[in-house]
């Protein structure tokens, strides 16, 4: 199987099992939705669960800066300020603790 120019040996893929307990009404609803999507229920549930996981992870792991905030951050990366005495002291303590 080729994926974005990479070759993937599908014999190395492992399928892990997740058990899901749900009431009959919820199961029927998922089965109907999967049928409309033309997918197996497993593929339907997995793809939608992964989409929801991606959205939730992005909310918690991605930092989006406004244009002014991005400019301040970018300028600090390109032109970092000189270390002040507190930072120099912290560097010395770090070196003392990790040197031995």
Q: Dump pLDDT digits (tens) for 11-60.
A: 566 788 889 999 999 999 999 999 999 999 999 999 999 999 999 999 99
Count of the separate structural domains present in the chain = 2
Q: Which two tokens stand for residue 97?
A: 């603790």
Angle at 38 between CA 32 and CA 43, to 5 degrees: 85
User: Do 79 and 51 fall into the same domain?
Assistant: no
Q: List C-alpha distances in Å: 19 to 14, 69, 77, 87.
A: 16, 44, 47, 51
User: 55 and 22 in one domain?
Assistant: yes
Domain assignment present for 9 = no
pLDDT band at 4 (very low <50, low <70, confident <90, very high): low
The model's pTM is 0.56
In a domain, 3, yes or no: no
- Indicate if 23 and 56 belong to the same structural domain: yes
Residue 67: closest CA among 75, 59, 78: 75
**Domain encompassing residue 86:** 64-100
């Amino acid at each position: 199987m080729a994926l974005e120019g990479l070759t993937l040996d599908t014999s190395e893929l492992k399928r892990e099992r997740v058990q899901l307990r749900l009431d009959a009404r919820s199961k029927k609803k998922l089965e109907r939705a999967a049928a409309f999507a033309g997918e197996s229920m497993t593929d339907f549930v997995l793809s939608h669960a992964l989409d929801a996981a991606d959205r939730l992870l992005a909310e918690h792991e991605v930092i989006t800066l406004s244009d002014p905030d991005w400019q301040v951050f970018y300028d600090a990366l390109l032109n970092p300020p000189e270390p002040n005495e507190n930072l120099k002291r912290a560097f010395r303590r770090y070196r003392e603790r990790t040197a031995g």
